[in-house]
Structure 1
Amino acid sequence: MATTEDADAAPDAYTTLLEQYQRVANVEAASGLLSWDQQVTMPEGGAPARGQQLSTLSGLQHELLTDDAVAEALEELDDAELTDEQAAVVREIRRQYRRADAVPQALVEEISAKSSEALEMWEQAKAEDDFETFAPILEELIELKREYAEHIDPDRDPYAVLFEDYEPYVDLDTAERVLTRLREELVPLIDDIGDSGVEQPRPFADGTFPEDDQEALSRDILDRLGYDWEHGRLDVSSHPFTSGTQYDSRITTRFDEDDPLGALTATIHEFGHAFYSLGLPREAYGTPLGEDRDLSVHESQSRLWENHVGRSEPFWDLVADDLDAHFEDLDDADPETLYRAANRVYDDNLIRVEADELTYHMHIVVRFEIERELISGDLDVADVPEVWNDKYEQYLGLRPETDAEGCLQDIHWSHGSFGYFPTYSLGSVLAAQLFAAAEDDLGDLDEDIRTGEFDALAEWLREHVHRHGARYETDELIERATGEGLTADYFLEYVAGKYGDLYNC
């Protein structure tokens, strides 16, 4: 499906390029669906065949993208007169083509097969709290990803090359500067909170909250937020994630009967991802104009809904009665108590996906530092648990007692996703910047959130972010949406004000 503008007076080479890329996009979407099934509904015995299926599809996608027809069309379009939209499409396909063409298809298929195998090994290792089960295949994946990066550019830092798979237009130096600034400015705030003597309530501490009740609540909250059930679904997985396109975007969450807040915030986070995917222009499906603008922007959408909406005071005014209706063991469900509980700074939390807005970024710093050393060869896989625990003690004042709650807690390395983690912090920073820009245009959104009226915010995001797909590079998209380049100022101002009020510091 090409856009109207693309279909009118498009050069023949452009039409050929678009037709070929639409096949690439369809294969990628099919791979995503098989991967979703592997993590959600596939029987345990299906893994060997699924690995082969995903490997074949990865190879086919690579073959289609690097086909001579794509190379010839791109060459013909070098000096062609193109519309702005057509030029953006050609830019994005050329970038993908150049990276893919540098990597042997056999390596692409091997990485895919190994990642599918690693997912099963990670699941087992985490369940058994046994890092040694996962370590050998992790070593293989690291070596494969080093080889992958070397094919793309042997003269550059391989981690920077891998990072570009997830964020091609914000360079690694910028990401590192953002992470450094967050570490330098958040640690003193976290220390002040620890010294404040203020204890936030814990209304869920003594109760048991059945999974069925939590799922019913999650579905009610998704209804309130405006999740499009005709084009989506909610399921359970070991690690919450979102998968799909503008026609079919599925979310997963996970439930802990001792901690319903974790499931609720994870569900809202994944809603943000799905809301972005479902907001991409349908008429541009199968083209870069119908695809997301990479992970920093994607994470900004999930973190905006999770934190600026889902952890806001007016949101708990809206949903307090919902929690009271679903949970018999919840004695104190007044909005103020729930708001404070949802924003308690977890001085005893080891789990990234359950972290508060402040310590969350220390979790990211730990992962960023470790995986850079893994890819550079400065850290042996066998030493990961000890280094992980040392860094948690250094940055969070905690030391994991098990690998399951330490270095095995995240799924990303089993996918071979080295370079992904910095986008979580970049996304959080951008979320604050976008939310501030939305309020500049729309006015204070507290009353809208309090009454469950999300249309204005949703439409603003659709207009300024979603409808553009990958038309603009990341920095231009941010500039157009907010009037300035990416900055951590809004995030740091937001958390200083919010947590200063909560903790009298």
Structure 2
Amino acid sequence: MATEAAGSDSESAPDAYTDLLQTYKRVANVRNAGGLLSWDQQVMMPEGGNPARSQQLSTLSSLSHELLTDDEVGEQLDELEDADLTDEQAAVVREIRREYDRAVSVPSELVEEISTTSSEALPAWEEAKAEDDFSTFAPYLEKHVELKREYAEHIDPDKDPYEVLFEDFEPCLPLEQAEEILDELRDTLVPMIEQIREEGDDIATDAFTREGDYPEGDQEELCRDVLSTLGYPWERGRMDTSSHPFSSGTMFDARVTTRFDETDPLGSLFSTVHEFGHATYNLGLPDEHYATPLGEDRNLSVHESQSRLWENHVGRSEAFWNVLLPSFKEHFPKAEDVTLQEAYEAANQVYDDNLVRVEADELTYHLHIIVRFEIERALIAGDIDVEEVPEVWNDKYEEYLGVRPESDSEGCLQDIHWSHGNFGYFPTYSLGSVMAAQLYAAAEDDIDDLEDHIAEGDFEPLHEWLTENVHRHGRRYETNELVVQATGEDFTADAFTDYVTEKYGDLYDIDA
């Protein structure tokens, strides 16, 4: 169902609304241009291009900030405070007001300095990870911590600075609600993982590692085939490789990246399906609302719900492997004897010794998130220093996951997020997983025989349900209201805990 275009009733819209929307479109286009430059920096830019790229991104960041914080924007927002607006117009004003109030609190010089530091930190992180040398990245991480403390102080000096940073990625959920959900995950998953390790049946964990390596070229062909099978529109996207899988773009150009390990074909596969979920959210946003809040994603929790839904509820399902396994065997004849049950079990094994978040199983994944959440909270609060991060990281992995990284490359340097100064981002991964379970359960209720559709390679009913109930709304609804609109229920962890309890209880034959 098409949504009413923002400004489609422009004849009756106040002049202040029309002018405000035009300014915001300029802001959005500058940001989108910066997004393309950032994508290029991570995917295709020559190694020597960073000095210029950091200046380019810094300039665009500063320009978008200046446009958004112009005095006229504030005057237009004030004029529209009591105006007679449609529901969609009111949502647009609400979202721009939120952004304006935060942005106007932060000096342009600080915005530019944060952007410059991010551009310079990225190659330093890549070098540090490649050389297993945290000291190369540490000065940039320390600078980011200082800048983000200052940033939070400008926005709300009376609030926990980490809470302010969390609001950049999840502006609609109180941090307290997010922490309650994370606590429920920990309380559910820690004993379940322990029970699986101690009592669970042996399953086919080595189904795809029996005969050695899986060439990168063959993995890439498989990933492209999977994207096509899922319905990725190549005329509006592309797939590339990067040091850390990510996606970016708009409803007209939504790109994905993945990475390859020739000993692990599932790593690139699930990364690709995960990033497809992000891309299909962007692609499902309404074309007519491009460069307005109604044509932008709600936030990272909702965005992550889409990637985790496709990765876990679809990509790790037995129904999906019914479609995928023949193609997998075609690309990798060494897997010709793998059965559907073995493939399903291998895709859902709970690891004893995994150190890398993006390669984690569906359960231990959230302990990876908790480690990062606790460390970045402590960094921002000043409870630990940057130089302590590797040791604290390793200690927490030993405590929560029972493994200790042997290098910083597989430890605290594995994620790209801190090179961007993205403190407060990590909780959205677990929040998104929880939301994915609730959305998928609702989709199952609404779509007759959804599992059968997936087993037959028909993903259109799920695409349509997600577009209708999530994507097309853009930022019209805040997070909790969007979940209620889509599922009829408040946003809680109940659907997720029910889902993992049933799935892994059956898989490992435990009474979870």
Asked if TM exceeds 0.5, the reply is yes
Amino acid corresponding to residue 282 of structure 1 in structure 2: D
Q: Partner of 1:349: helix, strand, or coil?
A: coil
Matched residues in 2 for 1:170 and 1:397: separation? 32
Structure 1 partner of 2:32: 29
Aligned match for 1:226, one of 211, 215, 231: 231
Structure 2 partner of 1:306: 311
Q: CA deviation at 1:6?
A: 4.2
Q: CA deviation at 1:336?
A: 1.2
Q: Partner of 2:101: helix, strand, or coil?
A: helix
Structure 2 partner of 1:199: 202
Matched residues in 2 for 1:288 and 1:314: separation? 36
Amino acid corresponding to residue 112 of structure 1 in structure 2: S
Matched residues in 2 for 1:4 and 1:92: separation? 15
Q: CA deviation at 1:9?
A: 1.2
Structure 1 partner of 2:19: 16
Structure 2 partner of 1:87: 90
Is 1:289 the equivalent of 2:323? no
Q: Deviations over 1:224-281 (max 9, x none)?
A: 1000111000000000000000110000000000001000000000000000000000
Is 1:456 the equivalent of 2:461? yes
Aligned match for 1:104, one of 103, 107, 118: 107
Alpha-carbon spacing, 1:365–1:232, altered in 2? closer, same or farther (3 Å): same
Q: Partner of 1:235: helix, strand, or coil?
A: strand
Residues 364-403 of structure 1 aligned to structure 2 (within 5 Å): 364-403=369-408
Q: Partner of 2:168: helix, strand, or coil?
A: coil
Residues 225-374 of structure 1 aligned to structure 2 (within 5 Å): 225-374=230-379
Q: CA deviation at 1:64?
A: 0.4
Q: Are the aligned partners of 2:6 and 2:89 in contact in 1 as well (CA < 8 Å)?
A: no
Aligned residues: 505
Q: Are the aligned partners of 1:224 and 1:452 in contact in 2 as well (CA < 8 Å)?
A: yes
Q: Are the aligned partners of 1:5 and 1:85 in contact in 2 as well (CA < 8 Å)?
A: no
Matched residues in 2 for 1:407 and 1:328: separation? 37
Q: Deviations over 1:425-473 (max 9, x none)?
A: 0000000000001111113411111001111111010100011000011
Q: Deviations over 1:155-182 (max 9, x none)?
A: 1100000000000001111111111111
Q: CA deviation at 1:196?
A: 2.0
Greater displacement, 219-228 / 3-12: 3-12
Q: Partner of 1:164: helix, strand, or coil?
A: helix
Greater displacement, 427-436 / 437-446: 437-446
Q: Unaligned stretches of 5+ in structure 1? A: none
Matched residues in 1 for 2:362 and 2:5: separation? 40
Aligned match for 1:116, one of 116, 119, 127: 119
Greater displacement, 227-236 / 198-207: 198-207
Structure 2 partner of 1:175: 178
Q: CA deviation at 1:8?
A: 3.5
Is 1:413 the equivalent of 2:418? yes
Structure 2 partner of 1:73: 76
Alpha-carbon spacing, 1:197–1:92, altered in 2? closer, same or farther (3 Å): closer
Matched residues in 2 for 1:310 and 1:28: separation? 32
Is 1:137 the equivalent of 2:130? no
Amino acid corresponding to residue 469 of structure 2 in structure 1: H
Q: CA deviation at 1:384?
A: 0.5
Is 1:491 the equivalent of 2:509? no
Q: Are the aligned partners of 1:209 and 1:329 in contact in 2 as well (CA < 8 Å)?
A: no
Aligned match for 1:50, one of 43, 53, 56: 53
Q: Are the aligned partners of 2:65 and 2:111 in contact in 1 as well (CA < 8 Å)?
A: yes
Q: Partner of 2:248: helix, strand, or coil?
A: strand
Q: Are the aligned partners of 1:234 and 1:253 in contact in 2 as well (CA < 8 Å)?
A: yes
Is 1:3 the equivalent of 2:6? yes
Is 1:127 the equivalent of 2:122? no
Is 1:64 the equivalent of 2:64? no
Matched residues in 2 for 1:4 and 1:228: separation? 28
Matched residues in 2 for 1:9 and 1:232: separation? 37
Q: Deviations over 1:30-74 (max 9, x none)?
A: 000000000000000001110000000000000000012211111
Matched residues in 2 for 1:458 and 1:163: separation? 29
Is 1:429 the equivalent of 2:434? yes
Q: CA deviation at 1:78?
A: 1.1
Matched residues in 2 for 1:9 and 1:245: separation? 29
Q: Are the aligned partners of 1:282 and 1:290 in contact in 2 as well (CA < 8 Å)?
A: yes
Q: CA deviation at 1:197?
A: 4.8
Q: Deviations over 1:466-504 (max 9, x none)?
A: 110000111111111011111111111111111111111
Q: Are the aligned partners of 2:105 and 2:154 in contact in 1 as well (CA < 8 Å)?
A: yes
Greater displacement, 457-466 / 329-338: 329-338
Q: Partner of 1:251: helix, strand, or coil?
A: strand
Matched residues in 2 for 1:266 and 1:35: separation? 20
Q: Unaligned stretches of 5+ in structure 2? A: none
Q: Are the aligned partners of 1:2 and 1:285 in contact in 2 as well (CA < 8 Å)?
A: no
Q: Partner of 2:297: helix, strand, or coil?
A: coil
Structure 2 partner of 1:38: 41
Matched residues in 2 for 1:163 and 1:263: separation? 29
Aligned match for 2:169, one of 160, 166, 170: 166
Matched residues in 1 for 2:376 and 2:467: separation? 34
Q: CA deviation at 1:79?
A: 1.2
Q: Deviations over 1:192-248 (max 9, x none)?
A: 100125222212224211111001000110111000111000000000000000110
Q: CA deviation at 1:4?
A: 5.3
Q: Are the aligned partners of 1:203 and 1:332 in contact in 2 as well (CA < 8 Å)?
A: no
Amino acid corresponding to residue 238 of structure 2 in structure 1: R
Matched residues in 2 for 1:367 and 1:439: separation? 33
Q: Partner of 2:335: helix, strand, or coil?
A: coil
Structure 2 partner of 1:441: 446
Residue identity over aligned pairs, in percent, reads: 68
Alpha-carbon spacing, 1:350–1:440, altered in 2? closer, same or farther (3 Å): same
Q: CA deviation at 1:329?
A: 3.0
Q: Partner of 2:240: helix, strand, or coil?
A: strand
Q: Deviations over 1:95-115 (max 9, x none)?
A: 000000000000000000000
Amino acid corresponding to residue 406 of structure 2 in structure 1: E
Q: Are the aligned partners of 1:204 and 1:258 in contact in 2 as well (CA < 8 Å)?
A: no
Alpha-carbon spacing, 1:6–1:142, altered in 2? closer, same or farther (3 Å): farther
When normalised by structure 2's length, the TM-score is 0.97
